[in-house]
Each structure stands twice: as structure tokens, then as C-alpha cells.
Amino acid sequence: MSAVPDEPSRTAPKTLLVVDDHPLLRRGLTALIESEPGLAAHGAVGTRVAALEAIRKMPPDLVIVDLALGDEDGLDLVKEIKTRYPDVPSLVLSVHDETVYAERALGAGALGYVTKQQLDETVLAAIHQVLAGETYMSEALQRRLARQYIGGRTLEAASPVHSLSDRELQVFRLVGQGRTTRQIAGILSRSVKTIESHIAHIKNKLAIESAAELAQRATQWVEAGRVG
């Protein structure tokens, strides 16, 4: 009697860790991941510390990072993942304006950037592309980068806000959220003097004369939904 051949082994699903401070979005992304063949949710957390602990315990195949993690900054988490776990790729999913943040995310080490308005099919396509070892960029971002390369232009030419460093933009966002200099210093684990220096650079780059004008500009920026 001939032996029954073994069933072909199934490829293990790719595991994804979701890092987002909104519980509803964490649940929605987890459900989306679980509904896709070949993908599995590694977990869903809302803070930088929880994300790093989850990666330490069992590195996933991909980390999806939101840029706004309460008072924390997703760009810092992307940079830390890149440094501490270079074999773990990250994909940024955010409400933030792509024209301001996509290139910053890629520069921080992410392999893709998707806005939360591009859920379902787009985010799944981005996930599969990054898992394949490729970089995901929207067609609009690809065209913009091509124009900049051909024309030799930089981000700063488009808007003064683009000239802010990642840390300065983070301080600008926190000012827009109503945080005081001392509160920002505590959130970023920096001295008040350092934050004051960042604020001085921001005012100079944006041609802002006073603290009141800075607060107004930053608040308008946040309320416009660019850094929600």
C-alpha cells in the first residue's frame, strides 16, 4: 500500500505590529490585516514604549506607525526602530499632510507613507510592497520627487514650514496644541533652554515676530488638519 504524500507546507503569514494611539483605528487596522490572506496581526499598541517592548519580545515582519502618538512623535519611533532593529521595516500611516511628512518619514527610515484617507486597498498594497522589500510612495509623491530632482529644487522652496527640522516641526506642532515651553521640554526630555532655542529658530525661519504670532500660526496649522 503506497504511502500518502505529505501535504505541502504552508507559508507562515507575515506578522504586523500596529502602533496608533486611537483604539478604534487600532481595531480597524487589525481587522483589515487579519482579513488579508498571508497577513497576521502581531499586536496593536498605542505608545512608543509598548511598541519597542513588543518588537523586543518578538520582532514582527513589519511595523505600521502613526506619526501622532499622543505627546510622542512617530518619527522618533521610526528612527529608533531603524537604529535598534534594522531588519524590521516600518510603514507610516498618518493623517499628516503628505507634502510635509512623507519625505521626512522616508528619511527617518520608513519604507513607505500612506495617509489615513487611503485605507483598505491602498494600505494593503503598501503593506505588500514594503514586505517585498520595496519602498511605497504615492504617485503624487513620486511625481513631486521627480520634479525636484530634475529642477534641482528643495522642499524649502515650496513652503517655509518645509524648512523646519524634524524637531522644530515637532515643537511647532506642540505649540499649536497649546503646550507651554516648559511642558514641551518635559515631553521631549529636553531643557527649557533647548526648546527656547528651537522656538527662536522656528520664528526666524517662518519670519514670525512674536510669541503670540507663533502661537496663532501653530494653532492654525494644527486646526487645518495638517498635524492632527
Query: In 123-152, which positions are buried (b, 16+ CB within 10 angstroms) versus exposed (e)?
Result: bbebbbbbbeeeebbbeebeebeeeeeeee
Instruction: For cell 519625505, name the residue.
Output: 103
Does the pLDDT value for residue 149 go beyond 70?
A: no
For the domain made up of 156-223, give the CATH fold: Arc Repressor Mutant, subunit A (1.10.10)
Alpha-helix residue ranges (DSSP H) falling in the chain? 23-35, 48-57, 74-84, 98-108, 121-131, 139-151, 166-176, 181-188, 192-205, 211-223
Asked if 106 and 90 touch (Cβ cutoff 8 Å), the reply is no
Asked if 33 and 18 touch (Cβ cutoff 8 Å), the reply is yes
57 vs 115, which has greater pLDDT? 57
pLDDT band per the 50, 70, 90 thresholds, residue 9: very low
DSSP code of residue 226? T
Q: What is the mean pLDDT of residues 19-30?
A: 92
Cell of 45: 499598541
In 3D space, the residue among 130, 59, 193 whose CA is nearest the CA of residue 51 turns out to be 59
Say how many C-beta atoms besides its own lie within 10 A of residue 204's C-beta.
10
Q: What is the mean pLDDT of residues 64-92?
A: 91
The boundaries of every CATH 3.40.50.2300 domain in the chain are 14-144
Give all strands of the β-sheet with 62-65 in edge-to-edge order: 39-45, 14-19, 62-65, 90-94, 113-115
pLDDT band per the 50, 70, 90 thresholds, residue 140: confident
Asked if 101 and 113 touch (Cβ cutoff 8 Å), the reply is yes
Asked if 170 and 177 touch (Cβ cutoff 8 Å), the reply is no
Return d(Cα 183, Cα 135) in angstroms, integer.
36
What CATH number does the domain located at 14-144 have?
A: 3.40.50.2300
- Phi, psi dihedrals of residue 222, rounded to the nearest 5°: -65, -45
The boundaries of every CATH 1.10.10.10 domain in the chain are 156-223
pLDDT in tens, 29-56: 999 999 999 999 999 999 999 999 999 9
